[in-house]
Structure 1
Amino acid sequence: MQDVNITDTTEKHSEVQFSSSSPNPSGPPATTTKSIRFWLLFSSLCLAAFCCNLEATVLTTVIPLIVRDLHVKDQYIWVNASYAIAAAVIQPLCGQVSNIFGRRMPMLLALALFTFGSGICGGASSTAMLIAGRTFQGLGAGSMMMLMEVITCDILPLRERSKYLGFMLAFASVGVTAGPTIGGALASRSTWRWAFYVCVPPGGSCFLLAVAFLRLKSPREPTWKAALLRVDVLGNVIFIASTSSMLLGLIMGGQLYHWSSWRIVVPIVLGALGWFLFAFHQASPYCKEPTIPPRLFSNRTAVTGFALVFLSCMLLEWIVYFLPYYFQTVRGSSALRSGVQSLPFNCFLVPVAAINGQLLFKFGQYKPLHWAGFGFVALAAGLFSTMDSNTSTVKWVFWQFFASCGIGSLVMSTLPAIQSSLPESDVATSTGVHAFLRNFGFAWGFTIPSLVFNNRVRAGINTVEDPEVRAIIASGDAYSQANSPLFASLTVKAKEQTIRLYTVSLRSLWYAALAFSLLGFILVFLEKRIKLRESLQTQFGLDEKKDSEKETKG
């Protein structure tokens, strides 16, 4: 294999040049035959992707039921925030650990945590127990999704990655698609607890498949002590503590306490100071092996790519959670029916993402996909803001298709864009930062629209004349009232006023999504057009040697 030569990213050289043996660099690269070991490993990764994404969306239609059953009230935001925070903060540490100890053991641990957390959530008897279970789930799922991408990058050259990541995303999208429907069906026929129990059997199956087939090459330190000394313990402690502190303050602000409260100001300030301290530590000579090396941000294409993945994943979560909520409140649909009505977005997402993965594989151009992605999401958000109780089925189906076209163009193309401007040795660290920002975006994708929605409800509370309804909504229960007995018991006039208030509040929510989409569209101009590598040179990859030894002995 030929070496990768990355030139200095200056104004004179607008591209990163790579040596390649391909006679036609502008066309699709030649593909090689994949071994049985490759397909067995890749199949286990796809199953793991299905499990993670099923659990990520299975709650979208049942959160109001959980809130009422466990008397969570305005604490409902922690059910999802604990999952998202845990999944986000673990990413950089997981990337560094996988570089030191290899990919196998971290992946097995992640699968075990995810399955264990699913069981705890299903048996939760209190809000604290549910949040603890969601935290375990988040730690496992966040590590799994990050490691799946790292392993895929280890065994495929950059130009081919989008193609196979597209296949993996198809399985993940099936989980996303099935999540709301499965959650609604289980809640309607049994109990919301099965929304968590349903992930235990597939999680266990993934663990067994990983034990059997996840055998990869990895450089080894001579002793465990030498390996442990490479871990940036201080840096990870600072990063996890400061990130958790900042997220806690931002999530509680305007929800549990006023923004001026010391309970909000102190965590945010401590989190910001912690990030500055973390950045200083990573760049200092005292940090021998940084968790997030400063060189990852040495060029504008990588920096812009990191920003785009945050925005795209925030918008994805935004749509996944608040489309079903629109149907449950404004349209009066049941949990199951709202999941079915949201299927167009999830179903279209699978083929659109796969098609865009193939386009990136064939043409090697990611900037057009980024522009198209944010353009379509902006269009969809603008159209969603016009939805009310009389919007026709044809309209909201097509509008969901536009949203799928946008998100599907983005989810497959951000990681290759980032890695195109970085050497192959930074695969794990860049994927770790990419995965962190993805999950950081997921956290904001529920938190920001929730803040916008609740603040808008409070601002318009006087438009509802019924004092009982005003008292319930003003106490922070506005979100949990979807499909509640309150809606069913309202008089015609009170129900019309309440639905109008929800419609206006959701409209503000989609306006905010439109603004973030346009920001992403503008940022794409900062990226450089860089050729994607067609060769692979890495210390990691499939351990075909062990397979050959087994066959020889057999």
Structure 2
Amino acid sequence: MFVFILADDGKIFYVKYFERRDADFMNHETNQVGESPIRNKRWLIMTAVFIATFMTSVEVTIVTTALPSIISELHGLAFQSWIMSAYLLTTAITTPIYGKLADMMGRRNIFQWGVIVFTLGSLLSGLSPSILLLIISRALQGIGAGAVMPLTFTIIADNFSFKERANVLAFNNTAWGLSALVGPLIGGFLVDRLSWHWVFFVNVPLGIGVMLLVWFGYHEKVRLRKQLTIDWWGIVWLAVCLVGLLLAIQVLDRQPFLAVGLLLIAVISLWLLVRQERRFENPLLSPKMFHSATFSIQIITATVLSGVLIGYQVYFPIWLQSLYRVSATTAGLVVTSSSIMWLIASFLVGTLIAKYVPKWIAIVLIVVMLLGYVELVFAGSSFPVWAFYVIAMINGTGMGIVISMNTVLSQHLVPAGMVGSATSILTLGRSLGQTVMAGVYGAILNLVIRLNLHGGISFSQVNNVISSAHSQSVANSALVDPIVLTALHAVFTCVVVILVIVLLINWLDPNKKVIN
């Protein structure tokens, strides 16, 4: 089957030829008519993508386990938040930049560059003798991850048809689920038996393996334009906007006036970015992608639901540990149950989008998730423990379907020359959704707790209750527990509000047909 994609001036700029022969599937791509076709080994590509997805996603869970040892050895308590923030910040800034470069220069080279930088950052992180060098090395890791994370989805889109893509993405999601399950175990083992340095060193052989697989299995021929124009001002304004936003979230609960100033800088930079992208001939974030209301809704939905995701991942365990006095391991199984259902449900996406209109799939599942959170807003101290697992499993099912659908559709609804940019925007949205809402939830929790302190109860006493260590008896628990419960109600009220907003946004989706 031949697929011709026409540019605005009527010239053919992208040709794909698909031929299925027994179990093998050969993908031939050319950037100009008349070039020789290129044969890719899809099993090698998928192995590389699977390992790369695992490598970048396990980075968060495995490092979290090692944080106490890192802080203790490097005397970095004052800067401990930056060990994670530096990685997330540079990942967020570089993600859309790499997406655009991948559309202009080819996926393979940018992906290889990202893997090399990530692997080098991992090696330097493990060798870091001080907290400052560790933070710098983590920022370098994030620069590499900014290329690897979105391009795994883009490479899948290039090598698999629309009908196959949902199942392939579901398979690749197992790497993410595996990292969530084994990351803490691997991190704990490495720290206990070796040292914290090895939580970074473990990525080095994985990175080398990915580089070799891509080198031998993934080939493409890209003819660069004679004049490769880069949207430097777009990059600058995007970076200033994201840095301002993420730094504002970091200081929101401690320095609110500074946070407001940083948010103002972020808003002004966003306005300058939009103006730049409308005027520039080859923009970093093309406004043409957002001409499709359905595409825009996929991005918004994935962003908001990622914010909901971080809500139950963080605050379900806090609720169970602080009010029900269960162990950290038992509370952590809530998140595990959600991850398992996410993986299972994502395999249903291909069948669902082939039969039903996307907006109705999203609306039904969001309503079901919403009902669970409404229960939490009114839940008392006798609310059963098993109900948290049920709500988490429902969330995992709903998000596994909806966010996977958002990914597939966002790639399908743009021209082939913009698939990399579209994927990077969705990946950026998911990262921002989690990062921003984590800060918002934390600010709400702390604010409500401070407003409800009474009876001689101090903030430090409430902090001790929320701690996962219950080796010592909690004094005045009859007074402290209602304060914590009220704060958690406020957090999940926020979740309900944003779910209602995203429900209304999906209701406004003008598309009323099955997309194929």
Superposition TM-score, scaled by structure 1 size: 0.77
Is this contact kept in 2: 1:254–1:451, CA < 8 A? yes
Are the structure 2 counterparts of residues 525 and 455 from structure 1 closer, same or farther at C-alpha, using a change threshold of 3 Å? same
Mapping of residues 203-218 of structure 1, within 5 Å: 203-218=207-222
- Does structure 1 residue 269 correspond to structure 2 residue 264? yes
Is this contact kept in 2: 1:102–1:218, CA < 8 A? yes
Structure 2 residue aligned with 1:438, among 422, 430, 438?
Answer: 430
- Does structure 1 residue 170 correspond to structure 2 residue 188? no
Rounded Cα–Cα distance in structure 1 between residues aligned with 2:159 and 2:50: 15
**Could you tell me which residue of structure 2 aligns to residue 483 of structure 1?**
468
How far residue 428 of structure 1 moved from its aligned partner, in angstroms, is: 1.8
**Could you tell me which residue of structure 1 aligns to residue 239 of structure 2?**
240
Q: Which amino acid aligns with 1:207?
A: M
Structure 2 residue aligned with 1:47, among 44, 47, 51?
Answer: 51
Q: Which amino acid aligns with 2:468?
A: N
Rounded Cα–Cα distance in structure 1 between residues aligned with 2:62 and 2:204: 13
Deviations 1:367-398 (A, max 9, x none): 23312332233234334556777654532322
Deviations 1:4-48 (A, max 9, x none): 699xxxxxxxxxxxxxxxxxxxxxx99984257011111210111
Mapping of residues 532-547 of structure 1, within 5 Å: 532-533=515-516
Rounded Cα–Cα distance in structure 2 between residues aligned with 1:202 and 1:252: 35
Q: Which amino acid aligns with 1:264?
A: A
How far residue 198 of structure 1 moved from its aligned partner, in angstroms, is: 4.4
Structure 2 residue aligned with 1:377, among 349, 366, 369?
Answer: 369
How far residue 246 of structure 1 moved from its aligned partner, in angstroms, is: 2.6
Deviations 1:324-374 (A, max 9, x none): 4444444445554543453211122111112224433x4364223312332
Query: Counterpart of 1:34 in 2: which secondary structure?
Result: strand
How far residue 311 of structure 1 moved from its aligned partner, in angstroms, is: 0.7
Are the structure 2 counterparts of residues 327 and 275 from structure 1 closer, same or farther at C-alpha, using a change threshold of 3 Å? same
Structure 1 residue aligned with 2:407, among 401, 415, 419?
Answer: 415
Q: Which amino acid aligns with 2:467?
A: A
Rounded Cα–Cα distance in structure 1 between residues aligned with 2:239 and 2:194: 38
Are the structure 2 counterparts of residues 496 and 204 from structure 1 closer, same or farther at C-alpha, using a change threshold of 3 Å? farther
Is this contact kept in 2: 1:61–1:339, CA < 8 A? no
Rounded Cα–Cα distance in structure 2 between residues aligned with 1:136 and 1:387: 44
**Which sits farther off after the overlay, 231-240 or 120-129?**
120-129
Rounded Cα–Cα distance in structure 2 between residues aligned with 1:100 and 1:480: 53
Rounded Cα–Cα distance in structure 1 between residues aligned with 2:488 and 2:78: 18
Are the structure 2 counterparts of residues 515 and 73 from structure 1 closer, same or farther at C-alpha, using a change threshold of 3 Å? farther
**Could you tell me which residue of structure 1 aligns to residue 277 of structure 2?**
282
Is this contact kept in 2: 1:96–1:231, CA < 8 A? no
Mapping of residues 348-497 of structure 1, within 5 Å: 348-360=341-353, 362-363=354-355, 365-385=357-377, 392-462=384-454, 465=457, 470-471=459-460, 478=463, 482-484=467-469, 487-489=470-472, 491-495=473-477, 497=479
How far residue 189 of structure 1 moved from its aligned partner, in angstroms, is: 7.1
**Could you tell me which residue of structure 2 aligns to residue 10 of structure 1?**
none
* Pairwise CA RMSD: 3.5
**Could you tell me which residue of structure 2 aligns to residue 346 of structure 1?**
339
How far residue 516 of structure 1 moved from its aligned partner, in angstroms, is: 1.4
Rounded Cα–Cα distance in structure 2 between residues aligned with 1:377 and 1:188: 39
**Which sits farther off after the overlay, 39-48 or 415-424?**
415-424
How far residue 158 of structure 1 moved from its aligned partner, in angstroms, is: 2.8
Q: Which amino acid aligns with 1:137?
A: Q
Rounded Cα–Cα distance in structure 1 between residues aligned with 2:330 and 2:123: 26
Deviations 1:211-245 (A, max 9, x none): 332322323345xxx43xx2212211221122212
Is this contact kept in 1: 2:65–2:187, CA < 8 A? yes
Query: Counterpart of 1:519 in 2: which secondary structure?
Result: helix
**Could you tell me which residue of structure 2 aligns to residue 25 of structure 1?**
none
Structure 2 residue aligned with 1:310, among 279, 303, 326?
Answer: 303
Is this contact kept in 2: 1:181–1:340, CA < 8 A? no
Give % identity. 19
Superposition TM-score, scaled by structure 2 size: 0.83
Deviations 1:65-117 (A, max 9, x none): 76777776686554443333222221221012112221122112212232333
Query: Counterpart of 2:51 in 1: which secondary structure?
Result: helix
Query: Counterpart of 1:371 in 2: which secondary structure?
Result: helix
Q: Which amino acid aligns with 2:250?
A: I
Is this contact kept in 2: 1:184–1:335, CA < 8 A? no
**Which sits farther off after the overlay, 429-438 or 61-70?**
61-70
5+ unaligned residues in a row in structure 2: which ranges?
8-19, 27-39
Rounded Cα–Cα distance in structure 2 between residues aligned with 1:433 and 1:385: 32
Q: Which amino acid aligns with 1:150?
A: T
Q: Which amino acid aligns with 1:233?
A: W
* Paired positions, count: 490
Deviations 1:145-175 (A, max 9, x none): 1111111111223333222112112222222
**Which sits farther off after the overlay, 69-78 or 364-373?**
69-78
Are the structure 2 counterparts of residues 146 and 349 from structure 1 closer, same or farther at C-alpha, using a change threshold of 3 Å? same
Query: Counterpart of 2:41 in 1: which secondary structure?
Result: helix
- Does structure 1 residue 231 correspond to structure 2 residue 230? yes
Q: Which amino acid aligns with 2:497?
A: A
Rounded Cα–Cα distance in structure 1 between residues aligned with 2:67 and 2:314: 10
Q: Which amino acid aligns with 1:425?
A: G
Is this contact kept in 1: 2:98–2:146, CA < 8 A? no
Q: Which amino acid aligns with 2:405?
A: S
Is this contact kept in 1: 2:58–2:180, CA < 8 A? yes
Are the structure 2 counterparts of residues 219 and 125 from structure 1 closer, same or farther at C-alpha, using a change threshold of 3 Å? same
**Which sits farther off after the overlay, 165-174 or 502-511?**
502-511
Rounded Cα–Cα distance in structure 2 between residues aligned with 1:407 and 1:66: 33
Q: Which amino acid aligns with 2:261?
A: V
Mapping of residues 66-215 of structure 1, within 5 Å: 77-122=81-126, 128-183=132-187, 195-215=199-219
**Could you tell me which residue of structure 1 aligns to residue 15 of structure 2?**
none
Rounded Cα–Cα distance in structure 1 between residues aligned with 2:208 and 2:326: 34
5+ unaligned residues in a row in structure 1: which ranges?
7-28, 534-554
Are the structure 2 counterparts of residues 57 and 367 from structure 1 closer, same or farther at C-alpha, using a change threshold of 3 Å? farther
